[in-house]
Structure 1
Amino acid sequence: MSELFDAPSPARLRPALAGVPAYVAGRPAKPIPGLITYKVSSNENPYPPLPSVAAAIAEASGQVNRYPDMMNVALKAAIGESCGFAPASVTVGPGSTGVLAQLIGALCDSGDEVVFAWRSFEAYPILVRLAGATPVMVALNDAGEHDLDAMAAAVTDRTKLVILCTPNNPTGPIITDAAARAFLAKVPAEVVVIIDEAYVEFVRDSDAVASFALQRDYPNVVVTRTFSKAYGLAGLRVGYGLAHPTLAEASNKTSIPFSVNLVAQAAAIASLAARDEIDARVDAIVAERQRVVAGLAEQGWRLPATSANFVYFPLGPDESERFDVTCGDAGLVVRRYGGEGVRVTIGEEAANSRLLEITGRLRSALRT
């Protein structure tokens, strides 16, 4: 059997694939004898599904011999009602990453450019290059924030799309409403601007972008969100976008058939119906974030201001590796970004306390 693959492949792959970086997922936690290990590398919600959501999942699982509703009628109606948008302005996909892929596929051809901050969500350059377009990556400022003036200056007549990630993954800062509006005033109306709000439910800053109002004022704005983080449905993959109906329909056209499965649709609808309970869980995570941020500040760490469910340590190559290894040895699996820094999810209370124990030891060690 192996001899079949000894010869070179006859396939002629797209040249664009040569420039596509590999997506790096958060590592799972490996068992350590005598120690509870925690995976805080993927920004997952530490809580299991609510009982009402678990019941909806169980009921839907008995119907998986049937295809889901390809048009996602009930799901779009529920999202629209929750957000105050007509169903025609709602598009859904397998996670907000799926919605982003659909929008990029609808907008971009070879030679087109997509502007986004860097470092930001790791999928952006992958999705852009897979569409045959060119990523234009604009460096964050020293505070880990979008440099919106530089991003506006990077827009050319080849720019089809700009992506703003707020709070930014992996650094954590928000984009303010005033800054977003000032930016949009500089961007041509035919350039689509996606406001990627995967972590919006964790935001408590009153100055943060009011994305729904912004979308109504600027028809070229699309808001993308997900059920993976605050709603705790990462394993089911369902996200959504809110846009002008023309853009929403274009996103629907580029989605693969039945991209949001039957169980995911049922779980998302049930989660929207249990929003009060979801909000209580999010409040608990935010309280833990505040505890961790305060503890890190007391230890002397100076980190980007986070409004998400994670904190980011902007460290150099050696310090990033030491931080990663030390956490791993202590049963805490974190997400290292090469030699740039380390992101740590706000997880279970015990995991957060262990992080503070580790960072307390590392703070003095990294000075030596």
Structure 2
Amino acid sequence: MTLLHVRSSISEMPPYVAGKPPVATPGVTRYKLSSNENPYPPLPGVVAAVDQAVRDSNRYPDVGNAELYAALAECLSVPTANLAVAAGSAAIIYDLLSSVCEPGDNVVYPWPSFEAYPIAVLAADARSEQVPLTADGCHDLGAMAARIDDRTRAVILCTPNNPTGAALTHTEVLGFIDSVPAHVLVILDEAYAEFVRMDDPVDGIAIATARTNVAVARTFSKAYGLAGLRVGYAYAPTEIAAALRAVAVPFGVSLPAQAAAVASLQLRSELLERVDALVVERLRVVGGLAEIGWDVGDPQGNFVWLRFPDAAAAAAFVAEAGEIGLSVRPLAGTGVRVSIGETEANTRLLDLAARMIPAPTAPKE
């Protein structure tokens, strides 16, 4: 038996459960709709940049990420001093919390939301203050503000929220920040920002530019289709951005990831055309679900959230999806998150949803 000490909070960490790939079914094309991945492969120009970077993989990447910082600064029209990069937006959130939290501090965030939040909080030796969503899957901003106390060091807003898809408005976020003490960092997790099509959308960069206690976390995993390369970035006050760069794992963003991100920013308009196509598919899926009796609200990410009356009904839906070659993501007991994928996959989802009636959604409170 080892006598080495492991921090006690480690045993409290819930495991991060990734979306499972579909089970092989003879004669059936399989589709993975469980991880909110972009179904489109990287553009040829991005693939060429990665290919060249792989050829140089005997060398370390630029530890300062200079080319990527320059590309981000130009794309966002912001100073490089306000930027930090890491291996995905999840790593950004881990580093943000590690930078501002002391042992015993707490972090307020909505729940259910991104499953990495409670892990990141414990990794920072802090305590979670989870605030239940409203009945329609939205942030309860009033309840979140009420949970802030003198040990709160950060508040996370996930917009659009993963897994429910509900998004906050710019006006709502500004009003909430006005209620937050100036020493509390407000983290805007905008992993799905490019998919938002609603009135008064949140502009996290503008908010973080105008406020002194706001940081934005974004990723290349979703809209840009680089989930397998792991690269994300933060825009934050200069002292917070400097702290992020200080705590970041050296060479944490690989050479291929840096090259892919830079190339993607150069091809941004072409990539966002693909986002537009996915939004069109999202509208088709949401409209189709509504026609057959489902209420999925107005999702603004690249996924929909299906609510069930109980865990058994949700499990039955997941099992039936597997039988037709779809992997979907059960979460929070009575909900199933389904990514917007290839056209055929989305059509299969609609067919399955029609067969699963009459137990589509839980009644609203």
TM-score, normalised via structure 2 length: 0.97
- Conservation of the 8 A alpha-carbon contact between 2:166 and 2:299: yes
Q: Given the alignment, which residue of 226, 239, 248 partners 2:232?
A: 239
CA positional deviation for 1:304: 3.1
Residue 243 of structure 2 is aligned to residue 250 of structure 1: yes
**2:314 aligns to what?**
320
Tell me the number of residue pairs that the alignment of Structure 1 and Structure 2 aligns: 360
- Conservation of the 8 A alpha-carbon contact between 1:167 and 1:199: yes
CA positional deviation for 1:109: 1.5
Q: How does 1:176-191 map to 2 (within 5 A)?
A: 176-191=169-184
More deviation, 9-18/272-281 = 9-18
- Conservation of the 8 A alpha-carbon contact between 1:194 and 1:222: yes
Could you say what secondary structure the match of 2:110 adopts?
A: strand
AA partner of residue 147 (structure 2): A
CA positional deviation for 1:363: 1.5
AA partner of residue 112 (structure 1): D
**Whole-angstrom distance in 2 between the partners of 1:183 and 1:48:** 38
AA partner of residue 261 (structure 1): S
More deviation, 231-240/212-221 = 212-221
- Conservation of the 8 A alpha-carbon contact between 2:107 and 2:153: yes
Q: How does 1:92-241 map to 2 (within 5 A)?
A: 92-241=85-234
In structure 2, list runs of 5 or more residues that go unmatched. Answer: none
Could you say what secondary structure the match of 2:305 adopts?
A: strand
Q: Given the alignment, which residue of 11, 14, 26 partners 1:21?
A: 14
**Whole-angstrom distance in 1 between the partners of 2:270 and 2:43:** 8
Residue 55 of structure 2 is aligned to residue 51 of structure 1: no
AA partner of residue 353 (structure 2): T
In structure 1, list runs of 5 or more residues that go unmatched. Answer: 1-7
1:119-152: per-residue Cα shift (whole Å, max 9, x none)? 0000000010011100100000011000000000
TM-score, normalised via structure 1 length: 0.96
1:256-313: per-residue Cα shift (whole Å, max 9, x none)? 1111011100000000000111011001000000000000000000113200000001
**Whole-angstrom distance in 1 between the partners of 2:297 and 2:102:** 35
Moved beyond 6 Å, runs of 4+: none
AA partner of residue 334 (structure 1): V
Could you say what secondary structure the match of 1:46 adopts?
A: coil
More deviation, 206-215/358-367 = 358-367
Could you say what secondary structure the match of 1:214 adopts?
A: helix
Q: Given the alignment, which residue of 317, 325, 328 partners 1:334?
A: 328
**1:271 aligns to what?**
264
Could you say what secondary structure the match of 1:296 adopts?
A: helix
Query: What do you get for the CA RMSD once the two structures are aligned?
Result: 1.1
1:176-213: per-residue Cα shift (whole Å, max 9, x none)? 11111111111011100000000000001131212122
- Conservation of the 8 A alpha-carbon contact between 1:238 and 1:260: yes
**Whole-angstrom distance in 2 between the partners of 1:188 and 1:340:** 35
1:50–1:263 CA distance, 2 compared to 1 (3 A): same
1:90-110: per-residue Cα shift (whole Å, max 9, x none)? 100000001111111111111
CA positional deviation for 1:83: 0.9
Identity of aligned residues (%): 49
**Whole-angstrom distance in 1 between the partners of 2:87 and 2:160:** 21
